[in-house]
Structure 1
Amino acid sequence: MNTTEIFLVAMLIILSVPYLVWRLGRTEYFAPLVVVQIVAGVLLGPGVLGAAFPAYYEFVFTPAVVQSLNGVAWWAVSLFIMLAGIELNLKDAWQARRESGVTAGFALLTPLVFGCVAAACLLPFEGWIGAKAQDWQFVLGVGMGCAVTALPILVLLMEKMGILGTPLGQRILRYASLDDIAIWSVLAIVLLDWQRVGRQAAFLLAFVVLGLLFRRLMQRVPSSDRWYLALIWLVACALGADWCGLHYMVGAFLAGVIIDADWFEREQLDAMRRIVLLVMMPVFFLSTGLRTSWGVGGAAVFLVAGWLLLASVSGKLLGVQFAGRVLGWPKGEASMVGWLLQTKALIEIIFANILLDKGVITSATFTALLLMAVTSTMLTVPVVNPKLQRWRANATPTG
């Protein structure tokens, strides 16, 4: 078989296996299709199915096919991150800045501290810190990985639970939006390259100047031209960020942040997100799975994943409990909000990919973070649904 045919075989596997598991296994309650796709990417990679059936792996995932899949994955994740940036609603967060700031602050800082402590405990052991990382970069990077909230997955889960358009759902989106800004800002600090600091300063200055011009242009062109111009802007920002040593994903996020969602119809934005998730992101999940490693021993990876999961979930829940007491929330609301905000999945995987690309973490740490992200996301709906029912019952007047 030639490379084209093998590539199509790989695509057939990528698209069919997760769908069949999701549909036939009826996993929707605890694992939406996107979570099944992430898990399938890991299972189809070299660490699991590739280790059990090396002949299958060598036949399907040849260097040429892997390179082609990586190209699709780079473009897919760039589009996805830009859309996540566009959907950040900072105007609403500013209008309710005290409540949003207090909640987002506690929801981010507490798991960040817990995660940094968990990461610091790994420093004495070999196989976890990346070859190009200083200790503080590893500790802060993994700590922030424990504090991540996946805004796109959060939207998907709240939509399924029927709370996305409610005041509660909009509040939670405000908290997650502020945390997203902080997470990417800290990531930029972790990735600072003092040998390229001049380039990075030049990129940020050019981004501000060109961003202002881009915003004026987008407001003046016909609505039919805006998506095309947004794609050009995305590529330019991603290229500039990668050139200066930050990362193309950081550039993609910055490209989306300065684009107003109001410039597009709501239906178009929702449709674009769904299309990217359906058509392109499964390739990114598979390419992520190809990067997993059990090199330091499978038991150790699972142990570290559990350690990071404990730091992440407990830190997020405790932080939101603090916020709830400060703001006087009703009983049980803080626990429900905390469980929703600990959802990680996509953004955590993207975050970990960047850390791996830059040599801040090893493949083993990447695998542990991936397992932590998947587990935390799968816990969300089964835990939140009963809490949501009790909250609705208490909020509904009787008699």
Structure 2
Amino acid sequence: MQSLASPGELTVAVVMADVAIVLVVGYVFGRWLRRMGQPVVIGEIIAGIALGPSLLGLLPGNPTAVIFPAEARPYLSAISQVGLLLFMFLIGWEFDRRVVARRKALTLSVSLCSIALSFGLGVGLAALLYADHATVAGRRVPFTVFALFLGAAMSITAFPVLARILKDRKLLHTEVGVLALGSAAIDDILAWCILALVAAIAAAGDGTDLVQIAVLSAAYVAVMSTVVRPLLTAFVRRTAALNRPAYLAIFVAAGVFLSSYATTWIGIHAIFGAFAFGFIMPRRPEAALHRQVREPFENIGLVLLPVFFIVTGLGVDIASLTAANYLELGAIILVACVGKTIGAAAPALALGLPGRDARTLGVLMNTRGLTELIVLNVGVSLHVLDKQMFTMMVIMALVTTAMAGPLLPKAPATPAADVARPEPADRAVPSR
């Protein structure tokens, strides 16, 4: 029986049905992986891949194309962006300088060594992979952009997943937990800066465009720091006391989206605007902000963010990988693991951290989670990654995140006597 709805109405209805499927399948897979000791994000990513061409699309009649038709995908992408931007705001908001300050010398050493080794190995790997993945959407990717992007992607540590793992394993108040949180925070800030540079270079048509993007980016940072931040602080201080959650949450969300629009207009991607707005967002009064802003945003993300995994999964096609691609995948996973584990464990061990704790730190710093998927989707939108590279990098993100659970030691880590309670990371953190 043919529907009597107009094509436009039918497309919107299909999108709503797709979101319902995403929520149920993501929940089932997420809870299943949770019972296996893995972060929920692993199950949600697998759900996205399973609903895409890698599994469901292989069945007769290509159910993926039927359930997620081409005309519905732009709508799904737009929905996913709302959840993604609010999540990036929470990531920026979660960054706390006090975590870094507790063991500044050791934290900086671990962070800089891990990101330097990861970035260097990523650039070296790019030199080996570039020839086979240099053309994306009919255009040749400059090697500089490809190498910088791969270096940045290898340098990521998923701060939210890391914080959740530390909380679940009761490692928040240990020496290794404090070091991991501080080092991951610095790593991600540096990696986002590199990624912003990649986005600027990729968006710039020539040297003049790059200069324009650099100037506008500097002006954006200056305005956010000197104008928006004090105004936002004053606004939050006055409105949080009114105990009107909808009022504060609506205006903060508006600020997130306007900041994202500004960075998109500049040419450095919307996620940086959301992250920057979170970074300048006041942390006090903590209880009021948790109730009036964090909880509503996390609830929205609980519904909208799984759509991001489906949009990502639709771009992952494991069946398209060749034997040569699997060799490349092995090299990608090896470089990712070596860069982070050795880059973090070696300086920690050299500076006096016990061997078991140094190894634990290396394992923790190797988790990538949703943060890596965000980076990879930026690479796709910038036409830096072809389908095979995107698929291999998504698999790498899955593997490195899933490794943490089995590799973490069962014995308790060394307690950190100088860690003041409660930890900033004890606040609710996004589970991805």
TM-score (normalised: structure 1): 0.89
- Whole-Å Cα distance in 1 between the matches of residues 272 and 192 of structure 2? 7
- Whole-Å Cα distance in 2 between the matches of residues 151 and 257 of structure 1? 14
- Whole-Å Cα distance in 1 between the matches of residues 329 and 84 of structure 2? 24
- 2:310: which partner in 1? 286
- Whole-Å Cα distance in 2 between the matches of residues 171 and 75 of structure 1? 32
Q: 2:112 matched to 1:105?
A: yes
Give 1:96 deviation, angstroms: 3.2
Q: Do 1:207 and 1:237's aligned partners in 2 also have CA atoms closer than 8 Å? A: no
Q: Do 2:332 and 2:393's aligned partners in 1 also have CA atoms closer than 8 Å? A: yes
Q: Please give the per-residue CA displacement for 1:50-102, whole angstroms capped at 9, x wherever unaligned.
A: 23344422322123321211111111111101110110112331453212111
The AA in structure 2 aligned to 1:117 is G
- Whole-Å Cα distance in 1 between the matches of residues 173 and 60 of structure 2? 46
Q: Do 2:117 and 2:343's aligned partners in 1 also have CA atoms closer than 8 Å? A: yes
- 1:334: which partner in 2? 358
Q: Out of 85-94 and 44-53, give the one that drifted further.
A: 44-53
The AA in structure 2 aligned to 1:378 is A
Find 1:239's aligned residue among 261, 271, 278: 261
Q: 2:160 matched to 1:152?
A: yes
RMSD across aligned C-alpha pairs, in angstroms? 2.5
Q: Do 2:30 and 2:42's aligned partners in 1 also have CA atoms closer than 8 Å? A: no
> Aligned in 2, Cα 1:243/1:367: closer, same or farther, shift over 3 Å?
same
Count of aligned pairs: 391
Give 1:141 deviation, angstroms: 0.9
- Whole-Å Cα distance in 1 between the matches of residues 33 and 136 of structure 2? 38
Give 1:3 deviation, angstroms: 2.5
Give runs of aligned pairs for residues 209-224 of structure 1, distance below 5 A: 209-221=223-235, 222-223=239-240, 224=244
The AA in structure 2 aligned to 1:61 is F
Q: Out of 334-343 and 115-124, give the one that drifted further.
A: 115-124
The AA in structure 2 aligned to 1:316 is K
TM-score (normalised: structure 2): 0.83
Give runs of aligned pairs for residues 1-399 of structure 1, distance below 5 A: 1=3, 2-23=10-31, 25=32, 27-126=34-133, 131=139, 133-192=141-200, 193=204, 194-197=207-210, 198-221=212-235, 222-223=239-240, 224=244, 226-265=248-287, 267-268=290-291, 271-272=295-296, 274-293=298-317, 297-384=321-408, 387-389=409-411, 391=413
The AA in structure 2 aligned to 1:187 is L
- Whole-Å Cα distance in 2 between the matches of residues 296 and 120 of structure 1? 22
- Whole-Å Cα distance in 2 between the matches of residues 132 and 235 of structure 1? 32
Q: Do 1:191 and 1:358's aligned partners in 2 also have CA atoms closer than 8 Å? A: yes
- Whole-Å Cα distance in 2 between the matches of residues 164 and 264 of structure 1? 19
Q: Which runs of 5+ in 2 are unaligned?
A: 4-9, 418-432
- Whole-Å Cα distance in 2 between the matches of residues 167 and 322 of structure 1? 16
Q: Please give the per-residue CA displacement for 1:162-219, whole angstroms capped at 9, x wherever unaligned.
A: 2234454233211111111100111112122245331442243034224422222222
Give 1:359 deviation, angstroms: 1.3
> Aligned in 2, Cα 1:7/1:370: closer, same or farther, shift over 3 Å?
same
Q: Do 2:29 and 2:43's aligned partners in 1 also have CA atoms closer than 8 Å? A: yes
Q: Do 1:339 and 1:380's aligned partners in 2 also have CA atoms closer than 8 Å? A: yes
Give 1:48 deviation, angstroms: 2.9
Q: Do 1:29 and 1:381's aligned partners in 2 also have CA atoms closer than 8 Å? A: no
Identity of aligned residues (%): 24
Q: Do 2:134 and 2:142's aligned partners in 1 also have CA atoms closer than 8 Å? A: no
